[in-house]
Structure 1
């Protein structure tokens, strides 16, 4: 299924980038998805292929990265499936989304969670990573909840991000952020803080997925600015900080997960 995802993602992303007018949406939405396509084509597709091949060779790090990229496929392509008009690659987008859901569920169901958790070094800074995940989850969750409650009381529309979106697009972003980012980040942080096996896995998977999402957001801003979308900006000053937090959290986890050879040597030592 992953090979099918890679192929369909690469083809549909290339089409979105190089076929004029493929997206039959407003200019802001078209530019946003072209930015997403760039990241899918040059990062997610080759990353998935490499991680899959390394996973078959027994790399635990690659397995977590593979699952993280599949998680991005679920989150990122939910925007394509639910946030665009019909277009020539509609079925490819649906297939990538559906296959990503199925592959992620099967990957996690067949993951040796306890074995991977036990492979992490004792000095893994789990509480530092937990705090970083909470720093990523709590502000966006608090803002989205506040703006949603304010709308319920005052009928004032929720605040937009620097990424120019329609109200329907903003609604979808709120739904996906609250359901697929905020709640999972908090749960992963709590589990990791308690050193529960699933905490290690969830934190790594979500860090990979979140990092790619931020790169997609940065690319979308640049594409909107290049397309001269009214109200667009090419740079969000918060993004370098957010990307750095994701990178730090992911690095702190993966550097404390030994390679297959190191783990085998460690088990061989009496």
Structure 2
């Protein structure tokens, strides 16, 4: 019996034919992000106007986009079109990461030749996220999670990691507010405020607490949302881990101290989300309780493992 169906009946079959254009938007966003990262890394002067503290972060972000994020976005969009539940959940997490990442690109990096491309990636990713959430069959997907223990562990991992980041940001921001001074990190980046802190206060932290507590209370939306959120958080950790290596490569003093704590958090979240996704089965209880279409041509696969 699934973790979700232990406390609620799956109900009647859900037959949907959502608009699958959002999956096409995701594929185009991934392709443009990949091309933009190549351009940013290959072209001279892309980040000439950013501060020395900002430069390795931007380069690390481009490397991660090129090697990991953009390819994952395209591959998971293709898997989701074929009906993969796991592909769909990972896709939503990577899309959230892409929106988060390109908000920083568009609003924090001085205007230049890549601005139109970055804006396009942000817009495509944002509308893809909206389309994906709008068409997400949360209840039927929730019924496919088979381990209550894996779900509870994932919820606590999400809540604890979000709490740790909240404490880290507040440790910097509260003293600055009380002293009437700018954030130290925003001064280093030569920005009015730290965009990561701002995005986390507005989006990441409240959403993470909402989703984590929702999963502890077995809310249907929280099952797919927790998996997607953990993927999002893992991807946000990867550029932080890569940054010290970039600093070393460009002749700066590497911040090796980041590798231990951030790497450990990423590994814990990776283990948690892999366990959670491993519990996803191909059919809910009863067997025909959730039949969902991604659109004409995508097919319906209720009996197979990891299929919508």
- Same-fold call, TM cutoff 0.5: yes
Number of the residue aligned with 2:293? none
* Structure 1 residue 262, shift from structure 2 partner: 9.6
Q: Is the 8 A contact 2:50 2:189 kept in 1?
A: no
Q: Deviations over 1:111-143 (max 9, x none)?
A: 111110011114452221111111101122123
Q: Deviations over 1:181-231 (max 9, x none)?
A: 2211111110110110111121111111111111112222321232233x5
Number of the residue aligned with 1:77? 102
Report whether the alignment pairs 1:141 with 2:166.
yes
Number of the residue aligned with 2:262? 239
Structure 2 gap segments, 5+ residues each: 1-24, 284-299
Against the structure 1 CA distance between its residues 159 and 246, is the aligned structure 2 distance closer, same or farther, given a 3 Å change threshold?
Answer: farther
Q: Is the 8 A contact 2:94 2:231 kept in 1?
A: yes
Q: Is the 8 A contact 2:282 2:304 kept in 1?
A: no
Number of the residue aligned with 1:52? 77
* Structure 1 residue 258, shift from structure 2 partner: 1.7
Structure 1 gap segments, 5+ residues each: none
Larger radius of gyration: 2
The CA distance in 2 between the partners of 1:240 and 1:169, in whole Å, is: 29
TM-score (norm 1): 0.89
Q: Is the 8 A contact 2:244 2:255 kept in 1?
A: yes
- Two-structure CA RMSD over aligned residues (Å): 2.3
- Worse overlay, 59-68 or 173-182: 173-182
Q: Is the 8 A contact 2:51 2:190 kept in 1?
A: no
Q: Is the 8 A contact 1:83 1:169 kept in 2?
A: no
The CA distance in 2 between the partners of 1:146 and 1:31, in whole Å, is: 24
* Partner SS state of residue 133, structure 1: helix
Q: Deviations over 1:219-255 (max 9, x none)?
A: 22321232233x5424512122111121022112101
* Structure 1 residue 63, shift from structure 2 partner: 0.5
Q: Is the 8 A contact 1:218 1:239 kept in 2?
A: yes
Number of the residue aligned with 2:220? 197
Against the structure 1 CA distance between its residues 157 and 34, is the aligned structure 2 distance closer, same or farther, given a 3 Å change threshold?
Answer: same
Report whether the alignment pairs 1:20 with 2:44.
yes
- Worse overlay, 136-145 or 71-80: 136-145
Report whether the alignment pairs 1:154 with 2:193.
no
TM-score (norm 2): 0.79
Number of the residue aligned with 1:182? 205
* Partner SS state of residue 26, structure 1: coil
Q: Is the 8 A contact 2:157 2:272 kept in 1?
A: yes
Q: Is the 8 A contact 2:241 2:263 kept in 1?
A: no
Tell me the matched-pair count.
Answer: 263
Task: Give matches, 1:1-270, under 5 Å.
Answer: 1-23=25-47, 24-158=49-183, 160=185, 165-168=188-191, 171-229=194-252, 232-236=254-258, 237-259=260-282, 264=303
Against the structure 1 CA distance between its residues 228 and 170, is the aligned structure 2 distance closer, same or farther, given a 3 Å change threshold?
Answer: farther
